[in-house]
Chain A
Amino acid sequence: MANAGDLSGLKQLVLGRKDVQDLSDTEQELPPDLMTVNMGPSHPAMHGTVRIVLTVDGEKIVKSDIHPGYLHRCFEKESEHATYTQVFPYTDRLNYVSPMINNCGWAMAVEKLMGLTGKLPKRVEYIRVIISEMSRMTDHLTCIGASAMELGAFTAFLYFLKSREWLYELLEKISGARLTHSYVRVGGVAKDLPADWDADLTHCLDKIVGVIDEVEVMLNNNKIFRDRMAGIGAMTRADAIASGCVGPIARACGVDYDVRRDHPYSVYPELEFDVPLGTTGDCYDRYLVRVEELKQCIRILRQCQKQIPDGPTMVDDPRCSLPPKTDTYNTIESMIRHFKHIMDGVRVPAGEGYAFVEGGNGELGFFVVADGTGRPYKAYCRSPSFVHLSTAGALIHDHFIADVVPIFGMINMIGGECDK
Chain B
Amino acid sequence: MSKKVLDALTAKFPSAIVRTASANGDEIAWIKRDDLLAVAKWLRDDPAMAFDAPVFCTCIDWLDWKPQHRPPSEAWNETKPRFTVCYQLRSVAHKHRIRLEIELPENDARCASLAELWSAFNWQERETFDMYGIKFDNHPDLRRIYLYEEFVGYPLRKDYPKEKRQPLVRRDDLPINPIKGQHAPKLEGNK
Q: Which residues of A contact B (CB under 8 A)?
A: 68-69, 72, 74, 76-78, 81, 112-113, 117, 239, 241-244, 255, 257, 262-263, 347, 349-354, 356, 363, 365, 367, 369, 371-373, 377-378, 380, 382, 386-387, 389-391, 419-420
**Chain B, 77-110, CB within 8 A of any chain A CB:** 86, 88, 92, 95, 99
With A262-B95, A354-B26 as known contacts, state yes or no: A241 contacts B69, CB within 8 Å: no
Which chain B residues border A255 with CB–CB below 8 Å?
A: 92
Q: Are B88 and A354 in contact (CB under 8 A)?
A: yes
Which chain A residues border B69 with CB–CB below 8 Å?
A: 349-350, 372
Total interface residues on B, CB under 8 Å, equals 41
Which one of B55, B122, B162 contacts A382 once the chains associate, using CB atoms below 8 Å?
Answer: B55
Q: Which residues of B contact A (CB under 8 A)?
A: 23-26, 28, 52-56, 58, 60-61, 65-70, 74, 86, 88, 92, 95, 99, 118-120, 122-124, 127, 131, 144-148, 155-156, 162
Q: Are B147 and A382 in contact (CB under 8 A)?
A: no
Which one of A112, A243, A354, A356 contacts B119 once the chains associate, using CB atoms below 8 Å?
Answer: A243
Q: Report how far A350 CA is from B74 CA in the complex, Å.
A: 11
Which chain A residues border B67 with CB–CB below 8 Å?
A: 350, 371-372
Which one of A112, A262, A369, A390 contacts B120 once the chains associate, using CB atoms below 8 Å?
Answer: A390
Apart from A72-B146, A354-B26, A382-B55, 20 more pairs, CB < 8 Å: A72-B147, A74-B162, A78-B162, A112-B25, A241-B92, A244-B119, A244-B120, A255-B92, A262-B95, A350-B69, A351-B23, A354-B55, A356-B55, A367-B56, A367-B88, A371-B65, A372-B67, A372-B69, A390-B122, A420-B146
**Nearest-CB residue, chain A, relative to B130:** A69
Q: Are A69 and B65 in contact (CB under 8 A)?
A: no
Which chain A residues border B54 with CB–CB below 8 Å?
A: 242, 244
With A72-B147, A241-B53 as known contacts, state yes or no: A367 contacts B120, CB within 8 Å: no
**Nearest-CB residue, chain B, relative to A377:** B65
Q: Report how far A386 CA is from B58 CA in the complex, Å.
A: 13
Q: Are B120 and A77 in contact (CB under 8 A)?
A: no
Closest CB in chain B relative to A391 CB, distance in Å: 8
**Nearest-CB residue, chain B, relative to A369:** B60
**Nearest-CB residue, chain A, relative to B131:** A76
Q: Report how far A378 CA is from B23 CA in the complex, Å.
A: 17
Q: Are A77 and B155 in contact (CB under 8 A)?
A: yes
Q: Are A351 and B147 in contact (CB under 8 A)?
A: no
**A-B contacts, CB under 8 A, total:** 109
Q: Are B68 and A257 in contact (CB under 8 A)?
A: no
Which one of A263, A350, A354 contacts B70 once the chains associate, using CB atoms below 8 Å?
Answer: A350
Q: Report how far A365 CA is from B148 CA in the complex, Å.
A: 26
Which chain B residues border A113 with CB–CB below 8 Å?
A: 24
- In order of increasing CB-CB distance, the 9 nearest A-B pairs are A372-B68, A244-B120, A350-B67, A353-B24, A69-B146, A390-B123, A72-B146, A382-B56, A244-B54
Q: Are B60 and A378 in contact (CB under 8 A)?
A: yes
Which chain B residues border A369 with CB–CB below 8 Å?
A: 60
Which chain A residues border B118 with CB–CB below 8 Å?
A: 242-244
Which chain B residues border A382 with CB–CB below 8 Å?
A: 55-56, 88
Which chain B residues border A371 with CB–CB below 8 Å?
A: 65-68
Q: Are A365 and B55 in contact (CB under 8 A)?
A: yes
Which chain A residues border B124 with CB–CB below 8 Å?
A: 386-387, 390
Q: Report how far A354 CA is from B67 CA in the complex, Å.
A: 18
Closest CB in chain B relative to A253 CB, distance in Å: 12
Q: Are B120 and A387 in contact (CB under 8 A)?
A: yes
**Nearest-CB residue, chain A, relative to B69:** A372
Which chain A residues border B61 with CB–CB below 8 Å?
A: 378
Closest CB in chain B relative to A365 CB, distance in Å: 7
Which one of B24, B65, B120 contacts A242 once the chains associate, using CB atoms below 8 Å?
Answer: B120
Q: Are B146 and A68 in contact (CB under 8 A)?
A: yes
Q: Report how far A241 CA is from B53 CA in the complex, Å.
A: 5
Closest CB in chain B relative to A417 CB, distance in Å: 13
Which chain B residues border A241 with CB–CB below 8 Å?
A: 52-53, 92
Closest CB in chain B relative to A170 CB, distance in Å: 33
A-B CB contact pairs (8 Å), 16 listed: A69-B144, A69-B148, A72-B146, A77-B155, A77-B162, A242-B119, A244-B55, A350-B74, A352-B28, A367-B58, A371-B68, A378-B61, A382-B88, A387-B120, A387-B124, A390-B119
Closest CB in chain A relative to B68 CB, distance in Å: 3
Q: Are B146 and A419 in contact (CB under 8 A)?
A: yes
Q: Report how far A244 CA is from B131 CA in the complex, Å.
A: 21
**Nearest-CB residue, chain A, relative to B160:** A77
Which chain B residues border A69 with CB–CB below 8 Å?
A: 144-148
Which chain B residues border A352 with CB–CB below 8 Å?
A: 23-24, 26, 28, 60
Which chain A residues border B155 with CB–CB below 8 Å?
A: 74, 77
Which chain B residues border A74 with CB–CB below 8 Å?
A: 155, 162
Q: Report how far A386 CA is from B69 CA in the complex, Å.
A: 37
Q: Which of A239, A244, A255, A263 has most B Cβ within 10 Å?
A: A244
Q: Report how far A363 CA is from B89 CA in the complex, Å.
A: 13
